[in-house]
Structure 1
Amino acid sequence: MERGINTRCLHLEETEGKTDNYGALSYPIYQTATYAHAGVGKSTGYDYSRLQNPTREQLEKVVASLEGGIDAFALSSGMAAITLLMEIFKPGDHIIAEADLYGGSVRLFDNVSKKNGYEFTYLNCSRDDIEGAIKENTKAVYIETPTNPMMNVSDISKIAEIAKRHGLYLIVDNTFLSPYFQNPLKLGADIVIHSGTKFLGGHNDTLAGFIVTNNEEVQEKLRFIIKTTGAGLAPFDCWLILRGIKTLGIRMEWSQENAIKIANWLKEQPVVKHVYYPGLQEHPGYEIMKKQARGFGAMLTFDVDTEAHALQILESVRMIKFAESLGGVETLITYPTTQTHADVPEEVRLKNGITPCTLRVSVGIEDIEDLLAELTEVFKGLK
């Protein structure tokens, strides 16, 4: 019987009953570049920290356990993880990608991957005909669910069936929900991506990225590429993420509870024209989320009536911070037009629903009364 996810955030079964590392409950930071050997062919199991490091290995085992993968790869950022993953493809390969991706992913695909000979077709994977876009050279489907920032929800199991029927990899960016709320590999995906900077770390104090897979061929390719390219996560940053993961469940539950209350509060505000949160029953992805996830997450997006009001909100918040990123204990509000999606062409942004009136919120763990009090004051001051 598989242990609960909160337990797996704290313990690896393989280490139970052991007192390695002098019994330290906090896994040590092995801050070393290289390792000594007793003789030729007598390795300690580690040779050079670009190849592997005990602290990184511990973190990778924890993340693999949380996602139900056979292996995980800890990288220096979420974008480093996606960049590394793209190396399993070759010039001429075609990838079907979600149209409403994080802007950094689109920037990478359009400016680096295309330069390297890859071809992309962007679709709204929650509603468009994915199967109809498959070509002879198609190798993968790449999705976020919910998407960033418009919170579109794709049916992972359904897309996995299509991918398997055509021999494609299904890649799912699971950053918004974290492994606490959603496990794409168990729904048929082959590869999961995380920006570990976000909910896994949870404290806005380090950058990290992860690739998790249950495919042995992908595992073998990535182990070779990561040691070759050298983008593995540094030991201290691995320790910070390990520390953050210990409270993942508590943080996700509290942030989600706050997010649901804020989403419902926003619905009642005259200046708010639309609230995008999959935990609202009217959201088109609500039933799919109930089927494939254990929660709705702490991310929400909303549109106000005018650009002037959007800018005034950003300038008026105080406890809530106007900042990029997401997934930390602090509540952040972001302006996709000039921040996360600034490099996405305007016509694409508008087609996806991202307008100058769109604001994205990463809800933290502050007392809900304080969050609503600040929002009430900010909205009352709108002119």
Structure 2
Amino acid sequence: MTPQTDRPRFYFNPGAQTFDVQVEPDVLDFHRKLPGYMPTPLVRAPRLAAALGVAEAWVKDESSRLGLPAYKMLGASWATYRELDVRFGPFARCSSLEEQAAHLVSYRPLTLVAATDGNHGRAVARMARWLGLDAHILVPGDMVTARVQAIEQEGAQVQVVQGSYDDAVEASARLADATHLVISDTAWDGYTRVPGWVSAGYSTIFQETDTQLVEHGVRQPDLVAVQMGVGSLAAAAVGHYRARGGKSQVVGVEPTLAACVLRSLTAGQLTEVPGPHTSIMAGLNCGNTSPLAWPLLQGGLSASVAIHDERAEQAMRLLAMDDVESGESGAAGVGGLLELLTGPEAAVTRRRLGVTAQSTVLAISTEGATDPEAYARIVSGS
């Protein structure tokens, strides 16, 4: 077998399925009630389109979502709301955050717990602050200081776990009890309800995108690129674009050194990629695929690609030329498109995916510059 570090690797599924996925109808209405809600921009990216050799490229820019620099608040807020409603509700239908917080006063102290590579934990901490609850966020030992400080500024207790993100997930699971609610975006045996709600929360991204494409007079994309860490966002993308009748193809992208989904697809079963996971795409440094996301990923992805850090850096610079500020993980989807459509095996991969000069592609830029110093260095090329 070729070592994982030698070159990007691919997996193709020519028989990608469609699914009967039921979108929870209240998700978008719930998000609209959160402080500062507005749809994130859908950006036409002509320089990206030219680089990829396609007719149009669109980027859903999640660099500012509900006051945070990443999309994660969508899943964290919906999952927290639903889990609190099950445990301590019911809340009044369409209740505000203030009404929910008042409802929870008699149940305090309550602590929201999450493991994170950065953005998810900050989102859970923000939700805890809005609801007057405590937050205990566990992070891997190699998280950069800027991301740790951002979580602490939300008022959370941050615990550094000497190990990987997956070690932090295991440690967070051990904290669960009657007053400590784990809000995780990955599932494990006996724990699937909350991760399912996290993934459902991401449907707002794709509902907004549908509306924006219509406003631009543009058809649905031929190809959608989405990042894969544990797989929750990618599963949401598959659920949307591979719903019964959907014709858009979905490709998943992850770092070469943490390509747990690609490794699992190749093996035909869930397969761990042991650490250390040292990619600059920190939010994607995951060694295990969520078993809840796995059926959708295995059946619905048309392709999976693992990329080196250099591809993410190239994507960051290219997106900046189209006025999209995208961090290392945020640009990974575009990095995957660059590898698939312009890399050494582009002639083969374009043919397998049916991509031509008339095609339209969509990428989700999932975060802004969450490490400002690194972003400035990479985009300047210094």
Question: TM-score with structure 1 length normalisation?
Answer: 0.35
Question: TM-score with structure 2 length normalisation?
Answer: 0.35
Greater relative CO, 1 or 2 (CA 8 Å, sep 6+): 2
